């Protein structure tokens, strides 16, 4: 039995798989995001640990006597967050999250300071990454910056609580802008550009290799054996890839979670910063991947539900009942509620509905949101193609994968077959458990099998034609917004 822990933005998920790779127990606990000012997104690291303890209690009850059979633990987590510890290992401030966009000015500063940033780190400097956050802290909170002894990524804060060691894996570390991604090691030059050094960084390991062992007090509290291995783990998307069996060049998937990700596996480091495409290490050795990332995906539907005081289930049912005539005349939605990464690298971008009339009802608004996210993914696919990556089909995972209507809409928009899998919503937690299995000596060919296909969604050429016209309008609306901001509006 293997335990997977996935620290997301909106919830922490845990699950247990058996030696056949089947999920035998799962639990989750919701998390809150604090937004004290515009462009800010923060969480208290200790709240993650409290949520994990609660999730473990629930999982342990579900697993029953089989709980004692757990041999290893894997970790997955939201990327880019900055957990700052002092010499006494006290948290210095709330964690600045991946979707926090306050550090736009520091991105320009970092680009000027580090001439080889793009070639070494493989990515543009964006506010979501960890390095600009530290430059922001140095500028705006110098007293805190002066006390930093360690910088940890979110999942690695949980690891430190579990094993007492500061360790990270290659895939998560690749999202800091401090990693030499081709060499899979910290870059002293990029760290120095932020006033840091490798002594303040966690030790690195591959995601499928051991990365600590469960210490005695936590083992007693959780009812597990002391010293069981904790895998290096992975950033949420790399771990999700392992869960979906996307580990070979040509494998690809779309994740519809808080953010939206289009992930493609590569056999070598293939940076494409000009397209705002991310190039990171995979969670397995000798593998890399490219990603396009939109900052607001399924979370835009949750935002609309909160505004309308409606449930996702009700809204999705109403959308599915809409005629194609209504869909083609629905407002257009720009899903930039937290700015945008790929392809725009624009932290100032904002969300918008365009084309509202008296006839617009909540079902039409919900359709517009689903379509706007699909269009954002289409922009990401265009960026990947510009970077030389062609896809033949995509798996779909994350909470949004539960909607067959949304899956078909994405297939029609991208003109690509979309495949959902049994247990696909488990995402990073399943991948984390598999990484734990690998760290315990599992064979990748056995452990990383693709889950059974749940359903295939084939693109409809006529709907693709109509959606392409709306996509062209969608892109024009964003450009008009950007031009207006450049003119001072």
Q: Which pLDDT belongs to residue 384?
A: 93
Q: Which pLDDT belongs to residue 116?
A: 92
Continuous segment of H or E residues that includes residue 197: none
> What is the per-residue burial (b if ≥16 Cβ within 10 Å, else e) of 37-76?
eebbbbbebebbbebbeebbeebbeebeeebeebbbbbbb
Q: Which pLDDT belongs to residue 448?
A: 93
Q: State both tokens at 350.
A: 């904002």
Q: Which pLDDT belongs to residue 1?
A: 96
Contact 429/6 with Cβ under 8 angstroms?
Answer: yes
What's 2-246's CATH class?
A: alpha beta
Of 387, 366, 376, 384, which Cα lies nearest the Cα of 410?
376
Q: State both tokens at 92.
A: 């210095």
Q: Which pLDDT belongs to residue 422?
A: 83
Q: Which pLDDT belongs to residue 257?
A: 84
Non-local (6+) Cβ contacts of 122 within 8 A are: 174, 181, 182, 269, 271, 273, 278, 279, 280
The response to whether 79 counts as a known ligand-binding position is: yes
Instruction: Give the SS3 label for residue 85.
Output: strand
Q: Rounded to whole angstroms, how far apart are CA atoms 421 and 407?
A: 12
pTM of the model: 0.88
Q: Over the chain (489 residues), what is each successive 10-residue block's mean pLDDT?
A: 96 95 95 94 98 97 95 97 98 96 95 94 93 98 98 98 98 98 97 98 98 97 97 95 92 90 92 87 96 93 96 96 95 96 91 96 97 97 91 89 94 97 81 97 93 94 97 98 90
Catalytic residues: 236
Contact 171/282 with Cβ under 8 angstroms?
Answer: yes
């Amino acid at each position: 039995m293997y335990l997977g822990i996935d620290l997301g933005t909106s919830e922490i998920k845990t699950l247990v798989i058996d030696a056949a790779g089947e999920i035998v127990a799962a639990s989750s606990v919701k998390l809150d995001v604090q937004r004290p000012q515009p462009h800010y997104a923060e969480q208290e690291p200790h709240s993650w640990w409290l949520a994990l303890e609660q999730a473990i209690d629930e999982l342990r009850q579900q697993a029953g006597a089989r709980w004692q059979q757990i041999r290893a633990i894997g970790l997955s987590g939201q990327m880019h967050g900055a957990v700052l510890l002092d010499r006494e290992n006290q948290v210095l401030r709330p964690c600045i999250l991946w979707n926090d966009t306050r550090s736009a000015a520091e991105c320009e500063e970092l680009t000027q300071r580090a001439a080889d940033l793009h070639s070494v780190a493989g990515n543009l400097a964006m506010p979501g990454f960890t390095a600009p956050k530290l430059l922001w802290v140095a500028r705006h909170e110098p007293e805190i910056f002066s006390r930093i002894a360690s910088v940890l990524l979110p999942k690695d804060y949980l690891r430190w609580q579990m094993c007492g060691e500061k360790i990270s894996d290659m895939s998560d570390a690749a999202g800091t802008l401090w990693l030499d991604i081709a060499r899979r090691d910290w870059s002293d030059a990029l760290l120095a550009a932020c006033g840091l050094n490798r002594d303040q960084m966690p030790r690195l390991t591959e995601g499928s290799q051991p990365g600590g062992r469960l210490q005695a007090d936590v083992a007693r509290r959780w009812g597990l054996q002391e010293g069981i291995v904790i895998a290096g783990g992975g950033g949420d998307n790399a771990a999700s890839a392992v869960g979906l069996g996307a580990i070979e060049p040509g494998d690809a998937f779309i994740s519809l979670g808080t953010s939206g990700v289009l992930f493609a596996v590569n056999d070598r480091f293939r940076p494409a910063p000009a397209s705002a495409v991310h190039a990171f290490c995979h969670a397995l050795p000798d593998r890399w991947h490219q990603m396009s990332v939109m900052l607001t995906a399924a979370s835009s539907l949750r935002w609309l539900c909160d505004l309308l005081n409606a449930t996702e289930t009700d809204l999705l049912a109403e959308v599915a009942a809409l005629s194609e005539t209504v869909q083609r005349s629905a407002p257009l939605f720009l899903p930039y509620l937290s700015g945008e990464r790929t392809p725009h690298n624009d932290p100032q971008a904002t969300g918008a509905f365009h084309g509202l009339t008296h006839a617009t009802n909540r079902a039409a608004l919900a359709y517009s949101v689903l379509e706007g996210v699909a269009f954002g993914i289409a922009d990401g696919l265009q960026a990947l193609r510009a970077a030389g990556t062609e896809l033949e089909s995509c798996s779909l995972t994350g909470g949004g994968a539960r909607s067959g209507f949304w899956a078909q809409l994405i297939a029609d928009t991208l003109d690509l077959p979309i495949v959902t899998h049994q247990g696909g919503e488990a995402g990073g937690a399943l991948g984390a458990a598999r990484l734990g299995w690998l760290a315990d000596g599992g064979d990748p060919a056995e452990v990383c099998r693709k889950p059974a296909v749940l359903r295939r969604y084939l693109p409809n050429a006529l709907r693709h034609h109509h959606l392409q016209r709306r996509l062209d309008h969608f892109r024009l609306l964003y450009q008009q917004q950007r031009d207006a901001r450049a003119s001072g509006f």
